[in-house]
Structure 1
């Protein structure tokens, strides 16, 4: 499978873009575990045009994480075009347009999935961005705004006609947010549409190697994205890639997985500072499947998620590792 000149081979697995999750450290970690392409956090076109420092820093990428896509969002043509040109100067492999974010502060203002309520504007923005840069432009979107307006089959053709190089589809509507189960039937319908010539990337509820294989084999997608299942579990890419290649599950030890979480903590603190770095990593510690099933874990979990300094949190993680090793015997 190719996007532009980037060759991915068979059964590519991508790290989905996620705000406050897919920072440079996490992207590189997922890449090391086998992610075929990684995406930046969402980049606001308006903030980028205004040169907001925090937004500009999201454009920082390193060679080791390539191929990498920068994802932008916005609701007006001119800022999106200017933002696209600024992003192109950072030399990503791909520029992605976010027409899928469902959160109120984005979609409620007409950007992200909010564009599903204004398809003509969505297409106008897409055409303008494609024309403004010399790198492949892709789009990520949802099935539609709500159940009664699931327009993705027709919309996919329209977006392809705008010149995009690939289309990623999350199998939910905006109204669903992240609730219920992702519906891949329409993703499969888009892929089977004989008019579609660009790669179709499926997204939504890919949480295990077995599900990843089922998505490829049943719906025929060219690639899949893993999003929330990677939070606190970047090794999921190793598990999926080895299962797709060999039909076998990769197994990291408790010690190896704990080392990954400690590395995330350390790099988060180094990248930001101690207080904010710990706040940033709490999402990963809360979500990791590694801690599931530990008996009488509630009080330690609360302490872990309330720890405010590195020494305290590191000591708690040492205790958790001891508990895991004892439980696994």
Structure 2
């Protein structure tokens, strides 16, 4: 008898020989994980207080009796609280026992040492004596399907404590390791100093440099879009960075008011106040005669000739695979991994326009691009024309290796939505029109793409109504691509994506283009794609040029290989573990190979495993294709490694990361994003 007949609806049909129980394993709730951002205002937070915060229990005879409906509601809230997100996650920073000066770690004389103004240690010899042993990353051929899962090297056979087979990913890729003596893979790029040569550092070692590899790396491996302009962050922080195109556009918007002040010479942040006042005066666009504030005459005294549609770069994206922007996990190392498995288009994590203009280093790090990313864009979110238009101008000037800029009109999370950004812009079309016109203008030839949902509320789809309006806004001919997620903001992941509605949007866009005599622009759909078959069915059903893959890529990064080769890949456990190894190596070249960098990589590898453990191997299913929204019953894999990779226990994810990064520091602990994984119990096997 097929197990599907005894399993609850929505449960993955695992073959009987692999089933441990028909009980469904508690899984990540994607709705709850993104639904609430402030635990202080979370209705569920009260149910999760610790016992010492609770009042004394009332006597039995004074307890309030609850009705059956009240009990059901309380149980539902408790389940939501358990499935929700750990909002106050804190990750302990890892440090060496001796905090060595950066210059001393590179074997360079510190200019502050003689002045005693450097707060770090300069004793390189003591540092090396106290330093933890080097980390050895097992190679692909050393991975096992049974414990200990990786080949364990022999103990060090020399008095330096260095192990054989140490490979530093950064040195092998870039020809040098900037962390030098602080690197946790030091043995790969040092050599003993001969007795007849002077030992300036007094440690008997010198750092190696591979000039040939460094030359290769400049073209093949060096990350792009690093901040190149001297003083950029300082100029942004002090509001001195010039944004002439934005100033001009915002000043023009301000003239729509009767009492418009002059805006000459002001920065974007100052001019933004005029925009806000203008918007308040203009009010709801639905109350204004059609076209009154939509067909704008270009200012006659503009120093820049407005860009004609033909000058905008065209994007040829048909049948290209697209990795959607992903929060936290969609970092550069993960995108690089997905490129290895076939992703053609990648987009950076969502960046907040206001934070970019406020010189946030963390926000600016999001625009970095690896040379392997063939078509790369960066995504902006914001709620004001002033910040979004100015941020687009800065990116267009400072990041020459950005192929497109994506405007986020689809983010559903409360923090973004309640600020008026993300999917909230769908209900503010007057503001959205100003944003699109301004961003197109300041981006120059760089294309602008738009990511949106079907609408804000269920049953009130409005995406299809936006597309024809672009013509009256004057931006349709220069807008490079639409990306439609087949759910409303309110719907989140509670229902399947509406691909029939996506087809409606495609038909409306193509008809609008035909009426205006415009060349077709790419339109991508999104939602619930988890297999090659599902991908191509969505393309054929809806007529989209392609599908942006989000959660499907988080759970199975090799989905892009499946799509390109039009096959379903029953990937082995060793191949999956090798993907973890690749991610570790890419992370080390991005975040660093010192102690702090290794543990940053460990954190993000565990974040990736918090999704990848949800993959149910094809070989354990009764049918050849799994579905994204199916929940897994308790099961064991075809080998011990496959069982380990399916574990819902976050401690096991740390164990897997330690195979490639060494053991974590004593006080280091990974706090999973989802409460359902904060357990020491095995979910599978």
TM-score, reference length from structure 2:
0.42
**1:111 paired residue among 403, 421, 431:** 421
Q: Are 2:653 and 1:305 aligned?
A: yes
Structure 2 contact 407–449 (Cα < 8 Å) conserved: yes
Task: Tell me the distance in 1 between the aligned counterparts of 2:560 and 2:328.
Answer: 19
**Aligned equivalent of 1:222, options 545, 556, 569:** 545
Radius of gyration: which is bigger?
A: 2
What is the rounded CA distance, in whole Å, between the counterparts of 1:38 and 1:223 in structure 2? 13
The separation in 1 between residues aligned to 2:337 and 2:367, in whole angstroms, is 17
- For 1:91-240, list aligned pairs within 5 A: 91=400, 92-134=402-444, 135-159=446-470, 161-163=474-476, 164-193=479-508, 194-196=511-513, 197-240=520-563
Higher strand fraction (1 or 2): 1
CA distance in 2, matches of 1:38, 1:299: 29
- Give per-residue Cα distances to partners, 1:241-285, cap 9 Å, x unaligned: 110xxxx33454432221111221343355332333222222321
What's the secondary structure of 1:97's corresponding residue?
strand
Report if the CA contact (8 A) 1:269-1:278 is conserved: no
Larger % of helix: which? 1
How many Å apart are 1:291 and its aligned residue? 6.4
The more displaced of 157-166 and 113-122 is: 157-166
User: Quick one: structure 1 residues 159 and 268, their matched pair in 2 at CA, closer, same or farther if it must change by over 3 Å?
Assistant: farther
The CA distance in 1 between the partners of 2:647 and 2:341, in whole Å, is: 32
Match of 2:607 in 1: 283
Post-superposition CA distance 1:207-237 (Å, at most 9, x none): 1111101111111101110001111421110
Change (3 A) 1:6 1:30: same
Q: Does 1:90 align with 2:384?
A: no
Secondary structure (helix, strand or coil) at the match of 1:181 reads coil
- Residue of structure 2 equivalent to 1:265: 584
Q: State how far apart, in whole Å, the 2-side matches of 1:32 and 1:25 are.
A: 11
- Check 1:178–1:198 CA distance in 2 against 1; reply closer, same or farther (3 A cut): same
Q: 2-side partners of 1:306 and 1:151: how far apart? A: 44
Query: Where in structure 1 do 4 or more consecutive aligned residues deviate above 4 Å?
Result: 289-293, 295-300, 306-309
Mapped contact 1:11–1:216 kept (Cα < 8 A): no
What is the distance in 2 between the residues matched to 1:93 and 1:39? 10
User: SS where residue 662 of structure 2 aligns?
Assistant: helix
Q: Secondary structure at the match of 1:180?
A: coil
Paired with 1:258 and 1:190, the residues of 2 have a C-alpha distance of 40
Deviations 1:281-308 (A, max 9, x none): 2232122145664357587834223559
1:70 aligned to which of 362, 378, 383? 378
Deviations 1:72-108 (A, max 9, x none): 1101111111111122231211111011011111112
Q: Which deviates the most, 248-257 or 59-68? A: 248-257
Which residue of structure 1 lines up, in the alignment, with residue 141 of structure 2?
A: none
User: Which of residues 56, 78, 100 is equivalent to 2:364?
Assistant: 56
RMSD across aligned positions (CA): 2.4
Answer whether contact 1:232 1:261 (CA < 8 A) is retained: no
Residues 32, 302 of structure 1: CA spacing in aligned structure 2 closer, same or farther, 3 A cutoff? Answer: closer
Q: Aligned equivalents of 1:73 and 1:209: distance in 2?
A: 31
Asked if the contact 1:97–1:140 (Cα under 8 Å) also holds between the matched residues in 2, the reply is yes
Structure 2 residue ranges without an equivalent (≥5): 1-311, 514-519, 592-596, 618-634, 638-642, 665-684
* 3-state SS of 1:231 partner: helix
Match of 1:316 in 2: none
- Would you say the 8 A contact 1:143–1:171 is kept in 2? yes
Aligned length: 307
In 2 relative to 1, CA 251–225 (structure 1 residues): closer, same or farther, beyond 3 Å?
A: same
1:5-24 equivalence runs, <5 A: 5-8=314-317, 10-24=318-332
TM-score (norm 1): 0.86
Q: Structure 1 residues 301, 291: closer, same or farther in 2, change over 3 A?
A: farther
**Partners of 1:81 and 1:264 in 2: how far apart?**
35
C-alpha separation in 1, matches of 2:465 and 2:475: 13
Deviation, 1:55, is 0.5
Does structure 1 residue 256 correspond to structure 2 residue 581?
no
